[in-house]
Amino acid sequence: MNSRLTGDETVLWQAAARVLDANWTGGATVPSPGLYPHQWSWDSAFVSMGLARHRHDRAEDELLSLFRGQWADGLLPHIVFNSRVARHAYFPGPELWDSDRQPGAPRDVRTSGLTQPPLHALAALRLHACAADLERSRAFLARLYPMLVAQHRYLARVRDLESTGLVAICHPWESGLDNSPAWDRPLGALQLPPTGYAPRRTPHTLPTGEDYDRYVRLVTLLRESGYHPGHLRETHPFAVEDPLVNATYLASTHALAEIARIVGGDPVPHREHADRVHRALLDRLWDRDTGCFRARDLRDGRLLPVVTVASFGPLLDPELPAPVVRDLTDLLLSARFAGAAGYPVPTCDIQAPAFDRGGYWRGPTWINTNWILWYGALAHGLPVVADLLYGSTLRLVRQSGFREYFDPFDGTGRGSHDYSWSAALVLDLLA
């Protein structure tokens, strides 16, 4: 624990550490014991950064445990299932994905067949930056490096659908912002046969049953194609270049270059690739007319209309030109995103018709997205913005605890209690 913490901060720290201890299953952390009883990909990246401040050994195990689920082509699945958890405990369970019938999937663990924002190299480097035992940490990085390289190679080979440098998501779950209003248009265009799935998820009012029919339909198409790259490229109906996903990809590509340097590998190809992703982000997703980044629907070539918190993701790009950073911060601090009475950035433009203050990823404020913006603001030398994000994010957990998400106007906690990344990122903020 940081010895300069005030009494109040120490209490917060200890409470956050208790959440992570309680959600530790022996080799990894569940996002929340009741609602999400398996291991999730970007959750583990966030959680590892908090664990690094509390139990460094566990932080490394967290990432290694996730990579047990990696497929032969490098795909790092968004869920690694715990076989000891009852079948009905989470929908959709392993049977939806059939990973055990895929030749490239691991044999000893069942997984999903989707990705999530690739923050893992960035997380691994952050673990190293606060390691007490540098020799041990270097050995950990050397072990993880080839797995990270394979993860990035998969993204570049299989998910760069139009050879632009950017990667595409093929399912809303891959964005991490599941029911974001940004996905309403491409999801609405999806042809739906009747399915037999009916989610029973009382703590959430959203996504709705109809959203789930569409989510399941997209997975069915992927599974039936054998998760084939050709299907993704040519026919899969949901293919979107998202600014937040690509910003995490870019930040992790930079981190990969640094990890390569530390472990005696060649950083140059990673640096060159980062440069390509940086240029593509600006060429393809920056919308000069509205002064923000937007997701691009590859199936009709158009930018998606709703501005969400993902539009600020490219603050993670260290080379973002100063005028672009200025436009983004102006929007971030405007009534559309920061008008929420001292609480941090909501998931959707408050003035958009789709904004819903209680609607999961359609309006509430989340700790992880605000952590990303805080991190990006610091890297761009914007201490005032970073301080605002820092203070308002901590205010949420002081007021409502480590909830999954929060009302952006009054900070009321929503969704699950004792949510791991909310606790972990508070540890990282306080460190």
C-alpha to C-alpha distance for 11 and 123, rounded to whole angstroms:
25
Q: Would you call 356 a catalytic residue per the annotation?
A: no
Q: Is 176 in the site for ligand 2M8 (CB under 6 A)?
A: yes
- Compute the least distance from the CB of residue 382 to ligand 2M8, in Å: 26
**Among 178, 211, 258, 349, which one carries the catalytic annotation?**
178
- Compute the least distance from the CB of residue 356 to ligand 2M8, in Å: 15
Please identify which residue in 13, 24, 36, 154 interacts with ligand 2M8, judged by CB under 6 A: 36
Closer to ligand 2M8 by Cβ: residue 78 or 284:
78
Please identify which residue in 17, 24, 39, 43 interacts with ligand 2M8, judged by CB under 6 A: 43
C-alpha to C-alpha distance for 284 and 329, rounded to whole angstroms:
20
C-alpha to C-alpha distance for 133 and 151, rounded to whole angstroms:
26
Q: Would you call 349 a catalytic residue per the annotation?
A: no
- Compute the least distance from the CB of residue 369 to ligand 2M8, in Å: 10
Q: Which residues contact 77 (CB under 8 A, 6 or more apart)?
A: 41, 69, 70, 71, 99, 111, 112, 113, 114, 115
Q: Which residues contact 195 (CB under 8 A, 6 or more apart)?
A: 213, 216, 217, 220
Q: Is 312 in the site for ligand 2M8 (CB under 6 A)?
A: no
Specify the long-range contacts of residues 87-94, CB closer than 8 Å, at least 24 apart. Answer: 89/37, 90/35, 90/36, 90/37, 90/38, 91/197, 91/199, 91/200, 91/201, 92/197, 92/216, 92/219
What φ, ψ does residue 318 adopt, rounded to 5°?
-65, -20
DSSP state of 155: I
Tokens of 167: 């990667």
Closer to ligand 2M8 by Cβ: residue 297 or 404:
404
- Compute the least distance from the CB of residue 364 to ligand 2M8, in Å: 11
From the list 70, 73, 72, 74, the residue with the least C-alpha distance to 39 is 70
C-alpha to C-alpha distance for 109 and 94, rounded to whole angstroms:
10
Q: Which of residues 68-87 bind ligand 2M8 (CB under 6 A)?
A: 78
Closer to ligand 2M8 by Cβ: residue 343 or 421:
421
Closer to ligand 2M8 by Cβ: residue 53 or 78:
78
Please identify which residue in 24, 40, 145, 374 interacts with ligand 2M8, judged by CB under 6 A: 40
Q: Which residues contact 272 (CB under 8 A, 6 or more apart)?
A: none
Q: Is 313 in the site for ligand 2M8 (CB under 6 A)?
A: no
**Residue whose beta carbon is closest to ligand 2M8:** 31
Binding mask 92-131 for ligand 2M8 (x = CB under 6 A): ----------------------------------------
Closer to ligand 2M8 by Cβ: residue 78 or 110:
78
Which residues are known to be catalytic?
A: 178, 404
Contact residues: ligand 2M8, CB under 6 A: 31, 36, 40, 42-43, 78, 173, 176, 178
